[in-house]
Structure 1
């Protein structure tokens, strides 16, 4: 018993500043389960490099297992998708959860944390991502737009045209390329017909704004990002409405660094798809952690 008390005391003293905030100390006791859950959600969002940030909705269960130098914490969490894209610098606590009319996703997650003398780490998380609202919920809102697959042909064509409009109409110095389609809704308006409402995200490239060559996106920390929305109907594609986020690092450099491909072209994306227990083409699924990424095999000499 004394050993556990000493371990808990040392854990509080030695907890790294970047692990949790001072007002949210994680201990090996159930009364700190809220701090553990918030830590777990931050970890999930930090590793969710596509789509939108998620916010804690409910702690559905927790279990603590004492170890020699701390404890293991198993959490069952219910999360809700927010309006903040992962490129949005706003803290998730300040992000609003999506309304029924906006579609969105919900996730149920199993998260395993390890609390030890040097801090707290997440050793595993596995989430099931589903539409936030069931068909019964949507029956209560028959006029609400319905979610469509992210690769919906009408949405893809609308976004391609909207990207061109954005670059033609903006005052940006550099060309902005499509990073991803964030969400697609569609609905029927009697005077117009079917209307598609895509949301999409742009990333700054190294090319001048009027460039006509293939442009390479800047590294994530060096690039501005724009979160945009448009609509498309038989009347055409409207000019996008965009919110521009500044680069995290705008220091002038003689040569811009080169970074790898975006998440959707990465080995991690392929690993995520293969390891998901369910898939929905209308959603940005939360990937398992850790991901078992298969490295490309080197040719024999």
Structure 2
């Protein structure tokens, strides 16, 4: 009898079905967590770039969060970056580096970065980037007379770099400098023909005077004594040739090395990776396919559907603005992505 009563009571107990957990709300591109992840990602990209210039964050284009359990999640960021005036060998902190203006023929970087947040600690797992210069048409539309980027192996560019470095070495009593790489070059054809070049250099174990006797004996300093630097120069070719050059050495930086291209650059030659290109492509340093969410099919994705935009006339908009709002009304938050533009949009 007791067993029968127990069975009846068991049948009458309510049955609780497991309710599926709703996905977390999307993380906005301008949220503090997204910005902190983007800052870490940009520093990672710059620290692991081998050539060219440091890049600064211009906009967070998209962010996806994939929960991985308690206090653990994966973040996928899509970032829009802009080239700065600081070479990757420069010790200048990124926050003090000037972003190149639009009229200087800006270079944009597009990066996918995969990070993890484990117990509140962010770390970068993978990065994939591509960088490209703005189109000539966009620049000339705003500034018809602005000089445009030239190929790094352009004959005029190589001539200008060689002449500038020779000019510096002939006038200095300090260390003889050798070329590491040409960073960028622009050519102005009107009203005066000018070639603007920027290039990274390194001190050798020779003085400029000693190099005159036997330049082939001059070698770059070893890593524990390395001294990198940067030069900017302008060469006029018409009506007379004239070169103005300014070179600065950074001093030894512990742990900072330069990835040698495996090719002599002392005469203005360039590594093969930049032949025929106007800028150093971030793809050469960051090309990990696992940085993209699309390559990680093992993770579910939470996609925020975009709402249709309804355009209104000026009269309709004015009438809409006159609608009384209830006390305590809070306008809806802005769309989660893309985020704000920090500098300018290309």
Aligned residue for 1:150, secondary structure, equals coil
Matched residues in 2 for 1:116 and 1:106: separation?
A: 31
Q: Name the CA shift for 1:122/1:280 in 2 (closer, same or farther; >3 Å).
A: farther
Q: Name the CA shift for 1:219/1:75 in 2 (closer, same or farther; >3 Å).
A: farther
Query: What is residue 3 of structure 1 aligned with on the other side?
Result: none
Q: Name the CA shift for 1:188/1:222 in 2 (closer, same or farther; >3 Å).
A: same
Once the two structures are TM-superposed, the CA of residue 290 in structure 1 deviates from its matched residue by 5.9
Matched residues in 1 for 2:75 and 2:107: separation?
A: 26
Query: Is 1:141 aligned to 2:146, yes or no?
Result: no
Runs of 5+ consecutive residues of structure 2 not aligned to the other structure: 1-30, 264-271, 290-346
Contact 2:163 2:243 in 1 (8 A): no
| Aligned counterpart for 1:128 among listed residues 127, 130, 153 | 130
Residues 1-301 of structure 1: matches in 2 within 5 Å?
31-68=32-69, 70-117=72-119, 119-132=121-134, 135-172=137-174, 174-190=175-191, 192=192, 194-209=193-208, 210-211=210-211, 212-219=215-222, 222-232=225-235, 233-234=237-238, 235-249=240-254, 262-265=259-262, 281-287=277-283, 288-289=285-286
Matched residues in 1 for 2:206 and 2:243: separation?
A: 25
Q: Using CA pairs below 8 Å that are at least 6 residues apart, which structure has the higher relative contact order? A: 2
Instruction: Mark the structure with the bigger radius of gyration.
Output: 2
TM-score when scaled to structure 2?
0.64
TM-score when scaled to structure 1?
0.72
Contact 1:230 1:237 in 2 (8 A): no
Aligned residue for 2:160, secondary structure, equals helix
Once the two structures are TM-superposed, the CA of residue 286 in structure 1 deviates from its matched residue by 0.6
Aligned residue for 2:277, secondary structure, equals coil
Once the two structures are TM-superposed, the CA of residue 65 in structure 1 deviates from its matched residue by 0.8
Runs of 5+ consecutive residues of structure 1 not aligned to the other structure: 1-29, 251-258, 267-271, 293-301
Matched residues in 1 for 2:58 and 2:65: separation?
A: 21
Q: Name the CA shift for 1:60/1:290 in 2 (closer, same or farther; >3 Å).
A: closer
Contact 2:49 2:286 in 1 (8 A): no
Aligned residue for 2:165, secondary structure, equals helix
Aligned residue for 1:264, secondary structure, equals coil
Query: RMSD across aligned C-alpha pairs, in angstroms?
Result: 3.0
